[in-house]
């Protein structure tokens, strides 16, 4: 079967226009229905959108190949469209898509669409072919371009491949989760780059249609190195002892020449079976750069943490909303728990959000050390989020120097200081746990084979949890505690000096540095402390307009507006600068708006964890601007939490909203200027 057998002039639209990815897919389905290939249009369209949810079919360079195999299809078919102005399609390279092929295939065992799609995918790697398709004046011209290119491809496929003189220099494997377009495009890109560089290569493809061009033991032995451009599980034991460059399938498509240069230069360590085994649940890490490996491990943690942030944050916001609707917007620290239902929502939401840091740390460690790292990372994350919160008044306290050392550094008595290290501590704990487990694997690899069974079930969790726990309790958390104490003292000194504008600037910025971590908590605890001071002053006869009381309320207002900026600023950036964020990140826009409105700063944590060097400075500056403006405007707040739900208690509310929006706009603009495009890492 040929491409021309599946595509007709009636299913080709040139000079088309579409407003969004969803819009263009619906128009493509209309073309397919017009061709007469569908039994159930709605069912087929649903299948196409479901396939997009698995991973984008926007493969880059302005091309998308949406597809669906379904019982809603009567016979296999193709539709094609050229969009003169392009459309945002969540493509791998972040660019607009203007050349689209839609494939429909019946739910039969012959997989006819896979062979056609693989050939079409490989043809689309030719820039001249792309250019000719975009320049076609009529559907008939479009078909003629395809027919000519496919004929050349079929002719070359039918020829017996020549054995490379002297054997192969590089072996490669390509695979993607669905085993369709990306698999074959990566193979084509590698073969094309090798031909241009005069490199002898053989590429094994592992697609939905099965394994093709299987590498033999002799070819693997001949090769100077192996490239595995895969996002799916492939057999790796056969490469034991060879230099293996393990990258994403997208890199095989877009960085083929770089990969070949790297593998031939010998800049890749030998692979040892079991050390980097691909797992169907884990994405491959690129061996070519430490920075990318760090990013990959971070994103593993962030992607698993995101549902806890969104679900828990919105439940907490609903608790605040319910109390506001019931008339309990001014009850102080009990806000959000004034009714049984709101208290339940806040409790459930709080539990979910309490799992954010442990999940972040656990899955960073999992990405580094596979399943043995998961438990160790979770415990490290729990210690980061909970701190060393144990009472110290034991009977043995003070008996000797060692016990006193333990008491002083590993335990915190009531009121003895905050040692919560937050999401930054969770990141550190995740990496620490992962590398501790890798170290344990290395140390125990020469144990007798009879003990292999107890390594992952006893040695790794017992020793790993103990080592990470001790390092968190005696090093990281106490260090955070010292920093926290110093910050609190600094804030008190600024407040005593009467420099409210500076206090507002610093408090706002502190709320956006670590979003729930020690710096954020130091600012928030300071705010609740000054609210308590204001209450004491009022109780002793002072007026609410007394300068000392007003200063307390101004500090609390700066804290809350600073905490409301990061989620909203990031959400705005997702709208105005979509290329800076992944598709998954852009989908959180609405939830981040909700959490920002509810003063749930933690909505920004996944973004900060994924790209701390760019995101944190942007959120910090924006929140600092909001806090500064709030203080300069003389905005006051008597409630310790609640966001927009307690704006009725805010002094100068319109100026307060202006400060909030200004800070959010600053964060948005800075992200647009400083953050790299998501596709470029």
Q: Which residues are catalytic?
A: 67, 176
| Whole-number Å distance between alpha carbons of 56 and 177 | 11
**DSSP 3-state assignment of 582?**
coil
- Cα separation, 457 vs 291, in Å, equals 31
Backbone angles phi, psi at 447, to 5 degrees: -65, 155
Judge whether 606 and 309 are in contact, CB under 8 Å: yes
| Helix, strand and coil percent figures for the chain, each rounded to 5 | 60, 10, 30
Assigned token pair, 117: 């799609």
Q: How many residues does the chain have?
A: 681
Phi and psi of 18, rounded to 5°? -150, 150
Indicate the Cα dihedral angle 460, 465, 470, 475, nearest 10°: 100
> Which helix or strand (DSSP H or E) is residue 115 part of?
helix 112-123
| CB within 8 Å of 571: residues ≥ 6 apart | 588, 589, 590, 592, 593, 596
Which value, in Å, is the radius of gyration of the alpha carbons in the chain? Answer: 29
Torsional sign, CA 595, 597, 600, 602: positive
Q: Which run of H or E residues covers position 204?
A: strand 201-207
CA 96/CA 118 separation, integer angstroms: 23
- CA atoms of 72 and 534, how far apart (whole Å): 68
Helix (H, G, I), strand (E, B) or coil at 579: helix
Q: Collect all residues with Cβ–Cβ distance below 8 Å to 46 and sequence separation of at least 6.
A: none
Checking phi first, is residue 543 left (phi over 0); if not, alpha (psi -120 to 50) or beta? Answer: beta
DSSP 8-state symbol, 554 = H
Number of C-alpha atoms within 13 angstroms, CB side, residue 530?
A: 30
Instruction: Give the dihedral sign, CA 401/405/406/408.
Output: positive
228 vs 247: CA distance, rounded Å:
6
Q: d(Cα 575, Cα 596) in Å, to the nearest integer?
A: 15
Report the relative pairing of strands 210-212 and 97-106 from DSSP bridges: unpaired
Rounded Cα–Cα distance for residues 342 and 335 (Å): 9
Cα–Cα distance for residue pair 442/636, rounded to 1 Å:
58
| 49 neighbors 85 (Cβ within 8 angstroms) | no
**Backbone phi, psi, residue 64, to 5°:** -135, 145
Residue 177, class by beta-carbon neighbours within 10 Å (0-12 exposed, 13-18 middle, 19+ buried)?
A: middle
Kindly report the backbone phi and psi dihedral angles of residue 59, in degrees, each rounded to the nearest multiple of 5, phi listed first. -85, 0
């Amino acid at each position: 079967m040929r491409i021309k057998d599946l595509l007709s002039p009636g299913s080709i639209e040139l000079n088309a226009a579409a407003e969004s990815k969803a819009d263009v897919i619906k128009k493509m389905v209309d073309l397919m229905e017009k061709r007469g290939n569908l039994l159930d249009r709605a069912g087929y369209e649903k299948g196409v959108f479901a396939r997009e949810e698995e991973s984008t079919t926007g493969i880059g360079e302005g091309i998308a190949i949406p597809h669906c195999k379904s019982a809603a299809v009567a016979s296999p078919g193709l539709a094609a469209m050229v969009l003169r102005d392009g459309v945002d399609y969540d493509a791998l390279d972040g660019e607009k898509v203007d050349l689209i092929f839609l494939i429909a295939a019946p739910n039969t065992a012959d997989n006819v669409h896979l062979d056609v799609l693989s050939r079409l995918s490989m043809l689309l790697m030719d820039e001249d072919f792309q250019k000719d398709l975009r320049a076609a004046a009529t559907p008939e011209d479009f078909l003629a371009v395809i027919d000519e290119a496919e004929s050349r491809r079929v002719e070359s496929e039918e020829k017996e491949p020549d054995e490379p003189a002297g054997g192969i220099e590089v072996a490669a494997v390509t695979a993607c989760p669905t085993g369709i377009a990306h698999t074959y495009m990566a193979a084509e890109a590698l073969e094309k780059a090798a031909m241009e560089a005069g490199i002898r290569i053989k590429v094994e493809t592992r697609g939905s249609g099965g394994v093709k061009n299987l590498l033999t033991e002799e070819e693997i032995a001949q090769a100077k190195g192996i490239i595995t451009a895969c996002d799916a599980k492939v057999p790796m034991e056969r490469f034991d002892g060879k230099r293996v460059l393990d990258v994403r399938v997208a890199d095989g498509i877009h960085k083929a020449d770089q990969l070949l240069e790297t593998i031939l230069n010998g800049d890749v360590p030998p692979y040892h079976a079991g050390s980097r085994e691909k797992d169907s649940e884990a994405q491959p890490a690129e061996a070519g750069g430490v920075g990318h490996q760090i990013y990959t491990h971070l994103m593993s943690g962030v992607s698993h943490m995101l549902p806890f942030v969104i679900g828990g944050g919105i439940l907490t916001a609903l608790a605040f909303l319910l109390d506001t609707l019931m008339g309990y917007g001014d009850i102080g620290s009990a806000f959000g728990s004034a009714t049984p239902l709101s208290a339940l929502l806040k409790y459930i939401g709080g539990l979910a959000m309490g799992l954010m840091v442990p999940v972040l740390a656990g899955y960073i460690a999992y990405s580094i050390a596979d399943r043995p790292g998961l438990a160790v990372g979770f415990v490290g994350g729990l210690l980061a989020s909970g701190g060393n919160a144990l009472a110290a008044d034991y009977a043995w306290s003070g008996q000797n120097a060692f016990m006193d050392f333990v008491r002083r550094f590993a335990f915190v008595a009531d009121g003895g200081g905050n040692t919560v290290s937050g999401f930054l501590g969770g990141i550190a704990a995740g990496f620490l746990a992962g590398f501790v487990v890798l170290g344990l694997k290395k140390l125990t690899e020469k144990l007798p084979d009879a003990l292999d069974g107890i390594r992952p079930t006893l040695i790794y969790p017992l020793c790993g949890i103990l080592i990470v726990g001790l390092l968190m309790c005696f090093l990281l958390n106490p260090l955070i505690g010292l920093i926290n104490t110093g910050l609190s003292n600094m804030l008190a000194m600024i407040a005593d000096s009467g420099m409210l504008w500076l206090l507002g600037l610093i408090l706002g910025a502190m709320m956006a540095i670590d979003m729930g971590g020690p710096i954020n908590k130091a600012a928030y605890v300071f705010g609740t402390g000054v609210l308590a001071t204001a209450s004491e002053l009022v109780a002793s006869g002072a007026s609410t307009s007394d300068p000392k009381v007003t200063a307390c309320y101004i500090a609390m207002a700066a804290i809350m507006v600073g905490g409301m900026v990061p989620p909203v600023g990031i959400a705005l950036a997702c709208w105005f600068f979509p290329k800076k964020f992944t598709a998954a990140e852009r989908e959180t826009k609405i939830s981040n708006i909700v959490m920002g409105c509810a003063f749930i700063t933690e909505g920004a944590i996944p973004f900060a964890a994924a790209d701390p060097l760019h995101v944190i400075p942007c959120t910090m500056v924006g929140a600092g601007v909001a806090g500064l403006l709030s203080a300069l405007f003389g905005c006051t707040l008597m409630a310790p939490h609640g966001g927009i739900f307690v704006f009725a208690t805010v002094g100068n509310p319109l100026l307060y909203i202006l400060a909030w929006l200004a800070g959010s706009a600053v964060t948005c603009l800075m992200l647009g200027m400083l953050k790299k495009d998501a596709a470029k890492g």
